[in-house]
Structure 1
Amino acid sequence: MKILVVGAGAVGGYFGGRLLEKGEDVTFLVREGRKKQLEEMGLVIESIHGNVTLQPKTITTGEVAGPFDVILLSTKAYQLEGAIDSFRQYVGSETLILPLLNGIVHFNKLAEEFGEEKIIGGLCFIESTLDRDGRVIQSSQAHRLLYGERSGERSERILKIEDCFSGTKADIRLSVNINQELWHKYLFISTMSGITTLMRAPIGPIRDNENGRTVISQLLKELVSIMKRINAPIADEIETIQLKQIDNLGYQMKSSMQRDMEKNLLVEADHLQGHLLEIARNKGIVVPVLEAIYANLKVYERML
């Protein structure tokens, strides 16, 4: 299969690199600066799961290429519209788009642009970053990518992707319940990013503080109540499950949103907490912790 990875950053660079390392036909759609960097030093992955330096195929928007069988979309949510414009010309009649963005609202935008039938579900859990030299630094056991038909069907096309994606050094798996996986991740990342950015601390010190733990629990309750009100496909015991997951996180674990704030970068406030807050306000759900978290993020954005 011909795979186009949009971006060669901390997420796309890692998973695209692992597919390329396996021997798959992978091309990276990048900007001129990143293209030059990759040509000069290669795609460098430094990971506890194995280091590798690769010589990837790269294109910039407008170059003749494709169409591609799969487009792996790994940008930030606030980059979505620009990303769509950048890869539109590479979408053919049989192309499937696999987004790894946080949240849920991007599926509506992608379906509007390309049609519901072209969009499959996807998400990832990974702690990775680009260093100053453009190397992908992946520093924890988590390097999981899940994908699947949003209908849950084990379709012929999804099985072809499974064959292509299997056998890499990353944990890439087909899910037959990707919709629930998406909502569970949405809940987890909105909680984790919200609480760590509000407290300006890794999860360990927050959870070890009695009041901090209370705030984590209250935020989870608020977000679960919002999701249940719109009949999101979340598990009955998801609040308990995710509290246990938070307890098992490393003491110094930070959310990617918190890391972005520390670098004075844009954050996905509207795409994550903002979308849930809008639902809460429309449904008359009282969510004081979510209100405080969103206010904190918007004040940060205004000060950039």
Structure 2
Amino acid sequence: MGLKFLVVGAGAVGGYFGGRLLEAGEDVTFLVRPNRRKQLEQTGLVLQSVKGSAKLDPPLIEKGEAGTFDVVLLSTKAYQLDNVLPDLKGFMHDDTVVIPLLNGIGHLDTLDRYFNKDTVLGGLCFIESTLTEEGHILHTSSGHRLTFGERNGEMSGRVTRIGESFEKTNADVETSIHISEGMWRKYLFITTLASITTLFNCPVGPIRESEEGRAFTYQLIDEIITVMRHTDEPIKDDFADKAWRQFMKLSEETKASMQKDLEKGLPVEADHIQGYLLQLAEKHEVSTPYLQAVYTNLKVYERMKDDG
């Protein structure tokens, strides 16, 4: 028998990769809220993608309904996590595996406390996608990569089996024995991208064309790396250079998902992304003026949004 997947939410990330699994014929169910369920029942799950579009009829489920699953793809925003986790236990059996696709790192502590630590794999993805007003998933760049693996560096049978389920999907999915390193590399990159595009309120192009913008970005990368090196995590010497090269290769129109959320007036993950690093910096007495400027800008935005 094949694996049964539960995708938590049907947003820009979970909806995309879950949709690609469903498109490939895998057993996929989406755990959604009532409003999203009503929308999907009317429109279907629509992927508008430069890699190939699709319209799917996804199985849907809400909290409190019956069913158990082998793999949970968790792609909520970090600020939604505490509300989502109580909904999951009823859908899990003793060997269910959780693959988190959230940005950042702090969610691993939360998941490890809530579930048995062995239940939680490492996971990350790179994709530029968003939800349209109609609830369609709009994927606008060629990248659609998902990576997962055991956080202890082993290649387990369960990871191999899950990887086999993704083999026929129209997405770049791979397993990794270096997933922890990969997650910290992504954390550096996504923090940098989210920070500069929200602070300067523009896509990458104008920032990169400005000498001051390039200098700010480089100093921010160095600052984040300095904080990360105070942890026991696998932070390698090439982290900064690779993050810089990745930044320089981005298309001029690239914006972080946090910037897109800010433009829509939605909540942002400031505490989970920048705030987590600032907590580490305070703990280890690391000066972080660039990161603090970014975080302050985001907290002012949150205050203005809440004040309406």
- Give the TM-score taking structure 1 as reference length: 0.98
| Equivalent position to 1:46, from 45, 48, 61 | 48
| Equivalent position to 1:24, from 23, 26, 40 | 26
Q: Which residue of structure 1 lines up, in the alignment, with residue 66 of structure 2?
A: 64
**What do the CA deviations read for 1:138-160 (whole angstroms, capped 9, x no partner)?**
11011100000111111111111
SS in 1 for 2:88: helix
State the alpha-carbon separation in 1 of the partners of residues 259 and 26 from structure 2. Answer: 34
Identity %, equivalent residues? 50
Q: Which residue of structure 2 lines up, in the alignment, with residue 300 of structure 1?
A: 301
State the alpha-carbon separation in 2 of the partners of residues 154 and 286 from structure 1. Answer: 38
**What do the CA deviations read for 1:100-158 (whole angstroms, capped 9, x no partner)?**
00111111111111110000000111011111111111110111000001111111111
1:295 CA displacement: 0.6
| Equivalent position to 2:10, from 8, 11, 20 | 8
Q: Which residue of structure 1 lines up, in the alignment, with residue 83 of structure 2?
A: 82
1:71 CA displacement: 0.4
State the alpha-carbon separation in 1 of the partners of residues 145 and 252 from structure 2. Answer: 20
1:142 aligns with 2:148: no
1:174 CA displacement: 0.6
State the alpha-carbon separation in 2 of the partners of residues 32 and 285 from structure 1. Answer: 45
Q: Which residue of structure 2 lines up, in the alignment, with residue 281 of structure 1?
A: 282
State the alpha-carbon separation in 2 of the partners of residues 283 and 110 from structure 1. Answer: 24
What does residue range 138-177 of structure 1 map to in structure 2 within 5 Å? 138-177=139-178
SS in 2 for 1:229: coil
- Count residues with an aligned counterpart: 303
**What do the CA deviations read for 1:43-68 (whole angstroms, capped 9, x no partner)?**
111101111111110001111111x1
Query: Which stretches in structure 1 are left out of the alignment for 5+ residues?
Result: none
State the alpha-carbon separation in 1 of the partners of residues 120 and 29 from structure 2. Answer: 19
State the alpha-carbon separation in 2 of the partners of residues 225 and 232 from structure 1. Answer: 12
- Give the TM-score taking structure 2 as reference length: 0.97
1:279 CA displacement: 0.9
What does residue range 104-123 of structure 1 map to in structure 2 within 5 Å? 104-123=105-124
Q: Which residue of structure 1 lines up, in the alignment, with residue 206 of structure 2?
A: 205
Q: Which amino acid aligns with 2:184?
A: W
SS in 1 for 2:232: coil
What does residue range 224-235 of structure 1 map to in structure 2 within 5 Å? 224-235=225-236
Q: Which residue of structure 2 lines up, in the alignment, with residue 189 of structure 1?
A: 190
1:88 CA displacement: 2.0
State the alpha-carbon separation in 1 of the partners of residues 199 and 137 from structure 2. Answer: 27
State the alpha-carbon separation in 1 of the partners of residues 255 and 43 from structure 2. Answer: 29
State the alpha-carbon separation in 1 of the partners of residues 126 and 29 from structure 2. Answer: 22
RMSD: 0.8
Q: Which amino acid aligns with 1:134?
A: G
Q: Which amino acid aligns with 2:58?
A: P
**What do the CA deviations read for 1:1-55 (whole angstroms, capped 9, x no partner)?**
0000000011111000000000000000001111111111211111011111111
1:204 CA displacement: 1.0
